[in-house]
Amino acid sequence: MAEPIFSSPHRHSGATVRGVMLRVGAALLPGLAAYALNFGIGVIIQCLLAVAVAIATEWLMLTLRGRPVAAHLGDGSAIVTGLLVALCLSPLTPWWITVLAVVFAIAIAKHAFGGLGHNLFNPAMAGYAFVLLSFPAQMNLWPAAPATVEHAPSAAAYFAAIFSPGAPIDALSGATALGHMKSQLGLMAMVSEIRTEPMFGTLAGSGWEWVAAGWLAGGVGLLALGVIRWQIPVAMLAALFAAGAVFHIYDSDVYAPPLFHLFAGATLLGAFFIATDPVTASTTPRGRLIYGGLIGLLAYVVRTWGAFPDGIAFAVLIGNAAAPLIDHFTRPRVLGEQTHGT
């Protein structure tokens, strides 16, 4: 009779889904605070709305699937998904677009694949990409930079913009630095400003660099706590920086400086909080480097030659699709495993 085969003994690290989500939520606070201080309370309103819809949608899907509601709803994953969706949307986004993005993220991108741990694509990025492709005009309304207005929009102005259909928001909105980059004229003005005022706060758009610095601080905290591994964010940022440097050296009047790409848009939020999602990212050491580098290169391609200003969401979703193949070819050898020819 053959001996039963048992798996190797393992020691539990003590990490739980709830504990990880709490740490991720706490790490988002520096960037969220910088966002609100520079652009007003609109981002807080969007976060509260998105989290409420995420919890409601999670409860509904768990109930329909006959899953234990209390256990799964209490793990905090829906809350983090809601926060990430809200942080990728503009604070001026109409409420119904936020609702659609979160419902798609939770119901389709997450539960249609079997729930937490089974989804192929990052739910927050799937929800964001869904509304970005469906409603491009509404998704291009961003708050004006602090340098161009006397003060950030008031809470009343944000409530009107978000919850009142047809509310006039032209006075509140303005193009982001990535939006300017899509036009040659905008890029030349942006490069000129960077050359004359190479100080932190002007490189990637007034106000946005402080938000990016908040994401960086939170991401470093996640690395220090061991919540994420270094390979994905380092490879992603290095690839994006390298691509930016090559093309900027080739023609500095057409292609933005590499530091601009690191601090503009959702680069640092994506590098530390989105691309590192343990369910949808590559899991092998070498695979994480390839996966992160792929996302960085794809983000640069979309930003530079694509139709959308920021390519992080599309780059992450393509990286998610490639992750199983990357893992297949970068799987470490098992101790004692024989390879062909040995």
For 3-29, what is each residue's pLDDT tens digit? Answer: 454 455 555 556 788 889 999 999 999
Question: How far apart are alpha carbons 60 and 64 in whole angstroms?
Answer: 6
Question: How far apart are alpha carbons 160 and 286 in whole angstroms?
Answer: 49
Domain boundary among 174, 201, 228: 174
7 lies in a domain?
Answer: no
Tens digits of residue pLDDT in 255-281: 888 988 898 888 999 999 999 999 999
Domain boundary among 155, 174, 193: 174
299 lies in a domain?
Answer: yes
Question: How far apart are alpha carbons 111 and 106 in whole angstroms?
Answer: 6
State the residue range of the domain holding 241: 175-329
334 lies in a domain?
Answer: no
**Is the domain of 146 the same as that of 225?**
no
**Is the domain of 179 the same as that of 324?**
yes
6 lies in a domain?
Answer: no
CA angle 82–84–90, rounded 5-degree value: 100
Domain boundary among 119, 145, 174: 174
Phi, psi values for residue 143, rounded to 5°: -65, 145
11 lies in a domain?
Answer: no
Which 8-state DSSP code applies to residue 251?
-
| Total of domains in the chain | 2
**What beta strand segments (E) does the chain contain?**
142-143, 173-174
Question: How far apart are alpha carbons 174 and 144 in whole angstroms?
Answer: 4
**Is the domain of 239 the same as that of 164?**
no
CB 186 within 8 A of CB 115: no
**Is the domain of 253 the same as that of 119?**
no
Whole-prediction pTM: 0.85
**Is the domain of 184 the same as that of 311?**
yes
Question: How far apart are alpha carbons 46 and 41 in whole angstroms?
Answer: 9
**Is the domain of 183 the same as that of 319?**
yes
pLDDT tens for the 342 residues of the chain, in order: 444 544 555 555 567 888 899 999 999 999 999 999 988 899 999 999 999 999 999 999 999 998 888 888 888 899 999 999 999 999 989 999 999 999 999 999 999 999 888 899 999 999 999 999 999 888 887 776 665 556 667 788 888 888 886 655 554 555 556 655 555 444 544 444 444 444 444 566 677 888 999 999 999 999 999 999 999 999 999 999 999 999 999 988 888 889 888 988 889 999 999 999 999 999 999 999 999 999 999 999 998 888 887 889 999 999 999 999 999 999 876 655 555 555
CB 167 within 8 A of CB 161: yes
**Is the domain of 130 the same as that of 209?**
no
**Is the domain of 266 the same as that of 298?**
yes
For residues 286-304, one letter each, b for 16 or more C-beta atoms within 10 angstroms of the residue's C-beta and e for the rest, the string is: ebbbbbbbbbbbbbbebbb
**Is the domain of 287 the same as that of 189?**
yes
**Is the domain of 34 the same as that of 147?**
yes
339 lies in a domain?
Answer: no
**Is the domain of 119 the same as that of 142?**
yes
229 lies in a domain?
Answer: yes
336 lies in a domain?
Answer: no
**Is the domain of 231 the same as that of 124?**
no
